[in-house]
Amino acid sequence: MGWSLQELTAGPWIYAVVTASILLDVLLPVLPSGILVVTAATAASATTAVTVAGGGAAAAAPYAPSLLPLLLCAATASFLGDLAAYQLARRGGPRLARTTARSRRLTAAQERLGETLARGGGPLIVLARFAPAGRSVVSLGAGATGRRRRDFLPWSALAATAWATYSVGIGWLGGRWLGATWLGAAVPVLALFLAGTLAAYVIRRPAAAPEPAPAA
């Protein structure tokens, strides 16, 4: 017999799992932190629905996650993970640079980061949070290149809040629309991947060539 969405997210341990996954996926981007957040938010929609139907908190489902703590966990863990990666790269800059130089993929990513920050600065740091591995490239790259904390951390905090709000929000909406079921979680997960694909496209899009100066 398969696990239901509520059974999978039952108990307060789900907050610890979500937090740990988000903290670590800045260094291990293969971790499904976004999927976990969306799934937990979909399960949280059941609590909201039962509470409204029952007319009070006493009628809420006993084990479903709560929306606000989930949002706070996701946003805080995202920011603290970025800060840890930034500090790690800042202290190990030369070693990280040598490691990066041995990988053509990482070298290309660092070059794109430099171009991206030169073109858009802070707003593109927020956008990169939604792109696959964009968080890792931005946080590690900002530390390795010695960007000032005051230039990076406020945008990182905004990126963490925006990503957490979007992920929790689409999970909750999916649950209210399709129910706290696997289908109710699958549709928001697809929306999360579509947002990441769009963000990656915008970041990688070449900058427009400057218009030539008019002839004298």
Residue type, 166: Y
Is pLDDT of 47 > 90? no
Count the neighbouring beta carbons within 10 Å of the beta carbon of residue 6: 18
Q: Which domain holds residue 106?
A: 5-204
Question: Does residue 81 fall inside a structural domain?
Answer: yes
Question: Does residue 49 fall inside a structural domain?
Answer: yes
> Tens digits of per-residue pLDDT, 132-184?
888 888 888 888 777 788 888 999 999 999 999 999 999 999 988 888 788 88
Question: Does residue 215 fall inside a structural domain?
Answer: no
Question: Does residue 126 fall inside a structural domain?
Answer: yes
Compute the average pLDDT of residues 209-214.
50
Question: Does residue 210 fall inside a structural domain?
Answer: no
d(CA 169, CA 67): 9
Is pLDDT of 78 > 90? yes
Question: Does residue 216 fall inside a structural domain?
Answer: no
Q: Is pTM beyond 0.85 here?
A: no
**Of the spans 74-78, 171-175, 195-199, which averages the highest pLDDT?**
74-78
Question: Does residue 209 fall inside a structural domain?
Answer: no
Q: What's the structural domain count of the chain?
A: 1
Q: Where are the alpha helices (DSSP H) in the chain?
A: 5-8, 13-24, 33-54, 67-91, 93-101, 104-120, 122-128, 134-144, 149-178, 182-204
- What radius of gyration, in Å, describes the C-alpha atoms of the chain? 20
Question: Does residue 165 fall inside a structural domain?
Answer: yes
pLDDT recorded at residue 145: 74
Percent of the chain scoring above 90 in pLDDT:
36
pLDDT recorded at residue 28: 85
